[in-house]
Amino acid sequence: MPGIIKERLFTPGPTPLLMEAQARTLTAANIHHRTEAFRKIMTETLSLLKYYYDTQNDVLILSCSGTGAMEGSISNLLSPGERILVGTAGKFGERWTGLAQAYGIEAVKVESPYGQPVNIAEMKQKLASAGPFRAVYIQATETSTAVMNDVRSLGEAVKNYPETALVVDAITGLGTSELRIADWGLDIVIGGSQKAVMIPPGLAFLSVSEKAWGLIAKSRLPKYYFDFAKERKNQVKGETAYTPATTLIISLHAALEYIQRIGRENLIANAALLAEASRAAAQALGLKLFAASSYANAATAICAPAGVDSGAIVKELRARFGAVIANGQGSMKGQLFRLAHLGYYDMADLFALLAGLEIVLLKLGQKIELGSGVRAAQEVYLRRAAQ
């Protein structure tokens, strides 16, 4: 089609950017990281990060993707010969086992089918009968399938094991779902910059409990760059062990100020509203949700109609409307598409995306009633607005 096609991200990461945060980096790009000016920004950012996490635990910032913090949570907690328990129900859960294998650590798996949450009752049973385990690893949200795991119940169980840490990949869970770190016993909780905090990729952050620090002190796996104790020692002074991504930290500072201004709980509510409206729209269009239960707020996974490759939907949305959504990953590619609900993203964005999706489905030969999905989303919005 002729005319302007404005590209918009609706992917689980990278996500739409907060322009206020981007503008801040342009005015501070020349700040050196070993100066008082940067130490002030770093110290304030760490304090704001505690608000975002809703924790009094130590928080750390690493210049890497979320996977770097995931790797660090293996190398910093474990010693040769120790074992871990992994709950997996998708591609990101499987990453834990790959990281363990890289370090020669035995991982005992509790594996659920794609589209299902991890079986927490089985995790508890393994803890009691197949241990000891130095750490337990799970996703708060399995982004590849758009399923939320019950980390609260798992945390309450792991609390009973003083020599076992619970590590939660909350890279898409932070800012989209409730995570009560102290109450639930979440020892390490990992986040990433390209998700709900609305800035580009390149930073990972994590909260670390006192229980986890005690276990970290016993770890004997090799580590160098991802050395949490070394980072703690430096970051308490407003510095980092190695050269940080200064512009991203400045951007994070601005984004966290924005989140504090609107309220952490309202950021979570925004994702929940978008997710509920997306599910209602999909069902109104006769589409099946990929997740069988425990729907995530961070993203919605929708099965492609029979006979349609989800890649065609992804391609047509981008070509016609500049809307970038995510295909399925691995064996799920071609079977489902995913709409994200995190980042600088509101209801007006969702209404536009759903209207475009309806046209794409019609062009791909599906018999749908134009406006039915948008209407279902509008009804969710009006019902929530009346509460």
Residues 99 and 74 sit within 8 Å (Cβ to Cβ): yes
Task: Identify the CA nearest to 78 among candidates 186, 230, 222, 209.
Answer: 222
Q: What mean pLDDT value characterizes the chain?
A: 96
Closest Cα partner for 191 from 143, 232, 225? Answer: 143
Sheet with 326-327, strands from edge to edge, namely 299-303, 336-340, 326-327
pLDDT of residue 271: 98
Share of the chain above pLDDT 90, in %: 94
At residue 27 the predicted structure's pLDDT band, cuts being 50, 70 and 90, is: confident
> For residue 205, what are the β-bridge partners?
61, 191
> Does the structure show a pLDDT above 70 at 141?
yes
pLDDT digits (tens, 9 = 90+) for 96-118: 999 999 999 999 999 999 999 99
Share of residues in the chain with pLDDT > 70 (%): 99
pLDDT at 385 over 90: no
Residues with Cβ < 8 Å from 24, sequence gap 6 or more? 250, 251, 253, 254
Q: What is the pLDDT of residue 1?
A: 61
Amino acid at 325: I
Least confident segment among 75-79, 181-185, 244-248: 244-248
In tens, the pLDDT along 253-266 reads 999 999 999 999 99
Which whole number is the average pLDDT over 204-230?
A: 98
pLDDT digits (tens, 9 = 90+) for 351-379: 999 999 999 999 999 999 999 999 999 99
